[in-house]
Amino acid sequence: MRKASRLTRFNVASLALGLAFLYLPILILVLYSFNASRLVTVWGGWSLRWYRELFNDRAMIEAAWMSLRVAVASATIATLLGTLAAVALSRGERFRGRTLFSGMLYAPLVMPEVITGLSLLLLFVALNAERGFWTVTMAHTTLTMCFVAVVVQSRLGSLDRSLEEAAMDLGCNPVRAFVAVTLPLIAPAIVAGWMLAFTLSLDDLVIASFTTGPGSATLPIRIYSEVRLGVKPEINAICTLVIALIAVVIVIASLASKLSSSQGESAAPL
């Protein structure tokens, strides 16, 4: 049985310092988004002024909307493709060049973003594609698909193959066996992969700035270009909203996974 280990003074201190290092900057940012003063570093009392101003800033709102759309679209496509790739790599027959294929799939994980972005830009220019929503979405799909594939493949790898065999033994053809047994069991990994792809896309600056066109800036691009002219408290406000969104997504994700894993326990008679 697990024993509650006692926290020593040293543990508490290192924990506090670690948390402070991670979250203090964010906390300050959130705090200053409610600042009444125009100066970013001077506290002028509580106010929602910058949020009002933010909602009147059409360009910022449009960039946020663009980012959200790109994130949802690219995460969805990447999840679909990444899951298929993971299934093919861990469940398919051994085909020639499988190692090469899986290596190539994971290349974007370690490839510097600048290179990915630049090569995609060259591709889009060569294809004479109009750069905007779809080019950014495609670029982000390329980037995030491998993350989804890694997450889903590790789950598939830990899954007992005899479960699928049992399903087939009990009357499922291979496709039905996958849908009835494998898919529900890897669903948490697929959801996690989607969340990962979503957040990766939402905060990507490098690839987006290479592949986007005029008039379709994503939120990170917009914030970056604003900040170059000096930090406005409005930026703090939009960042706070993004943090809130991500926090909500994470809470929902962990609640969902907790619910799905403890479903049985609540149904069992005590």
Partner 1 sequence: MLRIEGVAKSFGTFRAVDGVSLDIKAGEFFALLGPSGCGKTTLLRMLAGFEAPDEGRILLGGKDIAQALPHERPINMMFQNYALFPHLSVRDNIAFGLKRAGMARAEIATRVAEMIALVKLDGLEKRKPDQLSGGQRQRVALARALARRPQLLLLDEPLAALDKKLRESTQGELMELQRRLGMTFIIVTHDQEEAMTMASRIGVMKSGKLAQVAPPRELYEAPRSRWIAEFVGDINLFDGESKLRDGHRLVIGTRDAGALVVAEPREPVGAGRFAVAIRPEKVKLSRRGPVSEAGRETAINRLDGVIADICYLGGTTTYKVKLDTGGVLQASVANSARIDVDAYSLNQHVVAWFTPDDCVVLQS
| Contacts to partner 1 by CB under 8 A | 160, 162-163, 165-173, 176, 180-181, 184-185, 263-265, 267-269
Residue matched to tokens 């959130």: 30
CA distance 196 to 147: 8
Q: Please, are residues 219 and 64 in contact by the beta-carbon 8 Å criterion?
A: yes
Give the dihedral of Cα atoms 68, 70, 71, 76; nearest 10 deg: 130
Supply the minimum distance, in Å, between the C-beta of residue 92 and partner 1. 16
Supply the minimum distance, in Å, between the C-beta of residue 43 and partner 1. 52
Q: Give whichever of 185 and 191 is closer to partner 1, judged by the CB atom.
A: 185
Supply the minimum distance, in Å, between the C-beta of residue 267 and partner 1. 5
Residue count (the chain) = 270
Q: Give whichever of 185 and 241 is closer to partner 1, judged by the CB atom.
A: 185
Give the dihedral of Cα atoms 214, 118, 129, 72; nearest 10 deg: -70
Q: Give whichever of 16 and 170 is closer to partner 1, judged by the CB atom.
A: 170
Supply the minimum distance, in Å, between the C-beta of residue 155 and partner 1. 13
Q: Give whichever of 228 and 265 is closer to partner 1, judged by the CB atom.
A: 265
Helices of type H across the chain: 9-33, 49-56, 58-91, 98-110, 113-127, 133-158, 161-169, 174-177, 183-202, 206-211, 219-228, 233-261, 263-267
Q: Give whichever of 45 and 264 is closer to partner 1, judged by the CB atom.
A: 264
Supply the minimum distance, in Å, between the C-beta of residue 125 and partner 1. 48
